[in-house]
């Protein structure tokens, strides 16, 4: 009786790597592009012809399809369960875990490095929108984590994580709102006002807009003062 198959994780953050049984290996360029194209269609299968056109748009169909077969053969020789193939379609293996399905789990929140990027340096049309989707997912999950800290009274952790998220995306208004509330909960109204002023200047310089009125109202409500022209609370 054979033992259980080792866990397989496909990583697309900061490059294409396969982790099997705790050992991580980068994929060669041809294999990486094939696997990434299949993975970004998961959990659906993708037509072989679609993969061929995506990866080799300038080649005749017979040559691009031959490239698909060659790349697939190399991948399956080393990782048989990574890609499932039928005569017409390709799909990510059913037991493969994809890091971009839970990207925040793969962010080093202690090291405070830059946020990872999916397939950095790839400018293919089939990559760009998914890269932005993953980036937004990470930022959203950071907001959720900040909100959870704040709800539990861990204002220091909410501020720390929120400022990390702001450093990664300085124009994300939802994150400012959480950090402002955390500063106010600590009684640090000057810190809150300073952060809002910094964001106000940045938003005006970058896009010529002012922050949402709700952010100013957080400060107004905390200080008991109303700015000239501020909305009154019913």
Per residue of the chain (234 residues), give pLDDT as tens: 455 566 789 999 988 999 988 888 988 888 999 999 999 999 999 999 999 999 999 999 999 999 999 999 999 999 998 999 999 999 999 889 999 999 988 887 776 778 889 999 999 999 999 999 999 999 999 999 999 999 999 999 999 999 999 999 999 999 999 999 999 999 999 999 999 999 999 999 999 999 999 999 999 999 887 665 554 444
Angstrom distance (rounded) from CA 132 to CA 13 = 12
Could you list the beta-strand ranges (E) of 38-173.
46-47, 83-85, 89-92, 96-98
Reduced to 3 states (helix: H, G, I; strand: E, B; else coil), residue 47 is strand
Please give the CATH number for the structural domain made up of 137-223.
1.25.40.10
Angstrom distance (rounded) from CA 169 to CA 176 = 10
User: Model-level pTM?
Assistant: 0.85
Extents of the domains making up the chain: 8-101, 137-223
Reduced to 3 states (helix: H, G, I; strand: E, B; else coil), residue 24 is strand
* pLDDT score, position 232: 45
Angstrom distance (rounded) from CA 135 to CA 140 = 9
Contacts of 141 (CB under 8 A, 6+ apart): 103, 104
Angstrom distance (rounded) from CA 44 to CA 123 = 23
| Closest of 180, 107, 186 to residue 154, by C-alpha | 186
* pLDDT score, position 1: 44
* pLDDT score, position 2: 52
CATH 1.10.10.10 applies to domain 8-101: yes
* pLDDT score, position 3: 54
């Amino acid at each position: 009786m054979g033992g259980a198959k080792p866990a397989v994780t496909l990583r697309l953050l900061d490059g294409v790597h396969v982790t099997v049984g705790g050992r991580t290996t980068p994929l060669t360029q041809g294999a990486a592009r094939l696997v990434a194209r299949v993975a970004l269609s998961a959990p659906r299968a993708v037509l072989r012809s679609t993969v061929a056109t995506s990866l080799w748009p300038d080649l005749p169909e017979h040559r691009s399809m031959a490239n698909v077969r060659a790349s697939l053969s190399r991948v399956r020789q080393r990782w048989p369960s990574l890609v499932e193939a039928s005569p017409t379609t390709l799909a990510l293996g059913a037991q493969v875990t994809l890091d971009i399905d839970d990207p925040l789990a793969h962010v080093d929140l202690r090291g405070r490095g830059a946020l990872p990027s999916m397939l950095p340096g790839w400018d293919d049309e089939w990559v760009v929108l998914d890269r932005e989707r993953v980036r937004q997912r990470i930022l959203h999950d950071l907001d959720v984590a900040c909100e959870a800290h704040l709800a539990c009274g861990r204002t220091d952790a909410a501020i720390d994580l929120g400022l990390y998220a702001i450093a990664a995306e300085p124009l994300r208004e939802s994150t400012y709102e959480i950090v402002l509330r955390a500063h106010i909960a600590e009684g640090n109204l000057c810190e809150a006002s300073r952060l809002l002023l910094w964001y106000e200047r940045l938003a005006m310089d970058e896009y010529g807009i002012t922050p949402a009125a709700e952010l100013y109202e957080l400060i107004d409500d905390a200080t008991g003062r109303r700015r000239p022209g501020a909305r009154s609370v019913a």
